[in-house]
Amino acid sequence: MKVVIMAGGKGTRFWPLSVNEKPKQFLRLINEKTMLQQTYNRFREWLPEDKIYIVTTEEYAPLVKAQLEVPEQQLILEPYQRDTGPCVTLTALTFLKENDDEVFAAVPSDHYLPDNDSIYKLFTLAETAASSDLSIVTLGIKPTRAETGYGYIQTHKEINQKVLKVHSFIEKPNKNQAEALLRQENVFWNSGIFIWKPSTIVYYMDKFQPQITKNIAGYLKGNASEYANLPKISVDYAIIEKAESKFMIPADIQWDDVGSWTSLERLIKKEDDMNLLQGNIHVLSSKNCIIKTEDRKTIVIGAEDLIIASTKDGLLVCHKSFEQEIKGILKKMEEDNQE
């Protein structure tokens, strides 16, 4: 099988560390390797070089090449970022153009997955399940907390099977909904990892989003303007929630979607008073804070449960309970600047 690493996102919930010019997948967030390098190295341990592809935007191609020694033919480039729906469709049509319908896994570039032996076994099982015509397979993680930043998957009741039939996808819940989901035995976190054949993607896109398939096919024939007209839509909304043949494999592994500031607390050891400090920082009477600063001395006094991040690109002061709002307010700021 192949692995296609999706590395075209903006990572806005990590602002101001993650910015348009260099989003989070190209940053060293939890160790000396960037998120993209960690993801690539993880699969390189058991897949040959020619089976690992990177799909990103033309804008980020230089960053990918600077961080990974990947052949040019292993890069699939979007002219514009249009979310995961167009991204995976471009990937599928690119493979099919070469008469290649081998199963591939579409994986985010910013996940923490340290157990490589388990990942290999899960992907091998998923490859077999996805080989059936029109089958979409994903990995599900058993929830350990009432997380409001993740999507969820509800399976049918036969939870003792290795491959479960998906009943429904559940969007990011509020706190009460997340607590109720946590108590259900047949509910899992949506890992965002999908395994399928290129022809399966194109079948469902033709069925549910035919204009997207048509535009991308036109783009691959040389009409560059076709891509600019594509909608921004996730592959979940575009086809997965509507598809008939969906399966999930329970993944009993250590996993984290490194998608926001508080995710770092689960992966990096904290200082005294439960503070996570990165930079030249001095704290007094402060606890349970995440503080990241670059190139300046920082003093924080009397703070609690705050995210404080200061870089050359901006300053963020945010209560942890509001971190999911960062993406929305940045979008509004961009819209206001365009008026």
Supply the pLDDT for residue 159: 53
What is each CA distance from 23 to 16, 67, 82, 238, 304, in whole angstroms?
A: 10, 13, 16, 24, 27
Question: pLDDT tens digits, residue range 319-332?
Answer: 999 998 999 999 89
Sites in the chain below the pLDDT cut of 70: 158-160, 339
CA 184 to chain centre: 25
Helix or strand (DSSP H, E) at 190: strand 187-196
Written as one string, the DSSP assignment of 307-337 is EEEEETTEEEEEEGGGGGGHHHHHHHHHHHH
Going from the N-terminus, what domains does the chain have, and what CATH number goes with each?
2-259 (3.90.550.10), 262-338 (no CATH)
pLDDT at 156: 86
Count of helices and strands (H, E) across the chain: 10, 17
* pTM attached to this predicted model: 0.93
Q: b or e along 309-331 (b: 16 or more beta carbons within 10 Å of the residue's beta carbon)?
A: bbbebeebebebeebeebbeebe
* Cα-Cα-Cα-Cα dihedral sign, residues 42, 44, 50, 51: negative
Helix H or strand E encompassing 107 = strand 104-108
Q: What is the pLDDT of residue 160?
A: 57
pLDDT score recorded for residue 291:
97
